[in-house]
């Protein structure tokens, strides 16, 4: 796991998105069990794209990618890997 | 029964003596067709700069209408006339929802700038807007070389905004608030019929494609005026997109203030923001709206006075 990605995601979710404040978010905390609402998911998607400079597409929009910080980190890493692979292929 | 035209004429204006503003109801042509607009003016001395308030897209137009009113009145009380209007496809405009696009928003706003520029006592015009309206305000300010622009949580990347717009149904399904989101079906409908209903808003394929293609950072190559970017967040940090936008403004030689307004319900900005209790229906963003308006008026007073004290005419 990439510690920096996990830290950024955890901090953003804790600071901005929790429906109820005061919950400790670890990399395994279930996010979709009422911890984040639909407006929060919208903001989370925008944050991921802007912070990590990746673009999510329709195929990324499955609940499994958003269940925990660990799952989100995996999504970010795949997108970053995909972007790097695409750059090296064209460059 | 004869029409009491004098009486009706009196209803074209509304004056709030206690707050210190007056509003005139207009029926201008914007975007090539008739619509309605409201020009708010100070009752006291008016400053030489006025603002066009660009509204947002789709449901955000509805959810932010009260916010727009608060902004217009607060700015007027501070001495700045503000023109707000219904763009084509919205409210009381002549055209239908299928005519709404990025082009229609930009054309309406550009025409509104021309309309406001021709009003008595107004020397210079700036633009302002929230969310998608912020993107429109910034693009028009850059293209028309306007000296002032204020944006609140502006959309910076059209593609991200459109994808999120479509995905709202999906997110609501995940959160358990709706069933049967059917995003694939919705996208297929958009592709095959040229339009789709998204939370009651008729999104056309043309609007989807046009908005998806716009990136604010590429559109600002000419802006060298004074900008305000307001982030609305729970925490003290603005989102990375707004940080980049402010840096982009400064790289062009513009003056840009990036401000963060903290609010627990920040995510609701631009969304439904009423809560019904046993006693009443409460606007959960009433205080936030006023705080944003006060911050914006303070920014305008500071920068407009500095610009005109320096003997500049305000053109960027």
The SS3 of residue B276 is strand
Distance CA A73, CA A34 (A): 20
Name the strand (E) or helix (H) holding A70.
helix A69-90
Q: Which residue has the tokens 């705080």?
A: B291
pLDDT tens digits, one per residue of B7-26? 878 788 999 999 999 999 99
CA B122, CA B103: separation in Å to the nearest integer? Answer: 26
- pLDDT at residue number A28: 92
Cβ atoms < 10 Å from Cβ of A89? 7
A39 and B237 within 8 Å at the Cβ level: the answer is: no
A 16-75: CB under 8 A from B: 16-17, 21, 32, 36-43, 45-47, 49-51, 55-58, 61, 63, 66
Give the closest-approach CA distance of A72 to chain B in angstroms.
Answer: 15
Strand bridging mode B274-276 / B226-233: unpaired
Which residues of chain A neighbour B171 with C-beta distances below 8 Å? 38-39, 41-42
Instruction: Give which of B256, B214, B231, B218 is closest to A47, Cα–Cα.
Output: B231
The answer to whether B115 and B108 are in contact (CB under 8 A) is no
Contact B240 A50 (CB under 8 A): yes
Residues 194-233 of B with CB under 8 A from A: 233
Segments of chain B scoring below 70 in pLDDT: 175-182, 311-316
Q: Give the number of beta-carbon pairs within 8 Å between A and B.
A: 68
Least CA distance to B239: which residue of chain A?
A47
Point out the residues of chain A with pLDDT beneath 70.
1, 82-91
Helix, strand, or coil (residue B222)? coil
Instruction: Note the pLDDT of residue B68.
Output: 97
Whether A16 and B234 lie within 8 Å, measured CB to CB: yes
For A20, A31, B50, B65, B282, the CA distances from B264, given in Å and listed in that order, are 10, 19, 32, 21, 15
Out of B160, B177, B184, whose CB is closest to A38? B177
Report the candidate in B261, B313, B249, B309 with the shortest Cα–Cα distance to residue B287.
Answer: B261
Q: Nearest to residue B41, comparing CAs of B87, B85, B78?
A: B78
């Amino acid at each position: 796991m990439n510690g920096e990605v996990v830290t950024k995601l955890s901090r953003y979710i804790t600071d901005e998105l929790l429906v109820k404040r005061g919950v400790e978010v670890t990399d395994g905390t279930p996010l979709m069990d009422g911890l984040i609402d639909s407006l929060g998911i919208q903001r989370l998607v925008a944050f991921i794209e802007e912070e990590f400079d990746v673009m999510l597409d329709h195929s990324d929009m499955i609940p499994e990618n958003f269940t925990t910080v660990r799952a989100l980190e995996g999504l970010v890493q795949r997108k970053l890997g995909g972007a790097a692979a695409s750059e090296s292929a064209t460059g | 029964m004869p029409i009491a035209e004098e009486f009706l004429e009196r209803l074209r204006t509304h004056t709030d003596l206690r707050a210190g503003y007056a509003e005139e109801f207009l029926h201008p042509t914007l975007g090539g067709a008739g619509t309605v607009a409201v020009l708010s003016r100070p009752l006291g001395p008016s400053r030489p700069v006025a603002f066009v308030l660009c509204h947002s897209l789709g449901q955000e137009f509805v959810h932010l209408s009260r916010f727009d009113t608060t902004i217009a009145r607060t700015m007027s009380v501070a001495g700045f006339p503000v023109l707000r209007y219904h763009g084509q496809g919205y409210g009381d405009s002549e055209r239908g929802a299928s005519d709404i696009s990025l082009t229609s928003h930009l054309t309406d706003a550009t025409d509104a700038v021309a309309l406001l520029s021709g009003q008595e006592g107004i020397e210079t015009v700036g633009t302002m807007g929230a969310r998608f309206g912020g993107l429109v305000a910034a693009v028009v300010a850059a293209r028309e070389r306007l000296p002032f622009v204020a944006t609140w949580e502006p959309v910076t990347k059209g593609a991200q905004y459109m994808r999120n717009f479509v995905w709202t149904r999906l997110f609501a399904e995940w959160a358990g608030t709706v069933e049967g989101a059917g995003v694939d079906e919705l996208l297929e409908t958009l592709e095959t019929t040229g339009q789709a209903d998204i939370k009651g808003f008729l999104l056309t394929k043309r609007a989807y494609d046009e908005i998806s293609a716009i990136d604010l950072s590429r559109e600002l190559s000419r802006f060298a005026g004074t900008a305000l970017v307001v982030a609305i967040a729970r925490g003290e940090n603005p989102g990375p997109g707004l940080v980049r936008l402010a840096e982009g403004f400064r790289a062009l030689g513009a003056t840009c203030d990036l401000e963060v307004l903290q609010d627990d319900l920040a995510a609701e900005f631009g969304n439904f923001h009423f809560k019904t209790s046993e006693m009443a229906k409460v606007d959960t963003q009433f205080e936030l709206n006023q705080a944003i308006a006060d911050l914006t008026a303070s920014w305008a007073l500071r920068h407009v006075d500095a610009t005109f004290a320096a003997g500049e005419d305000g053109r960027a």
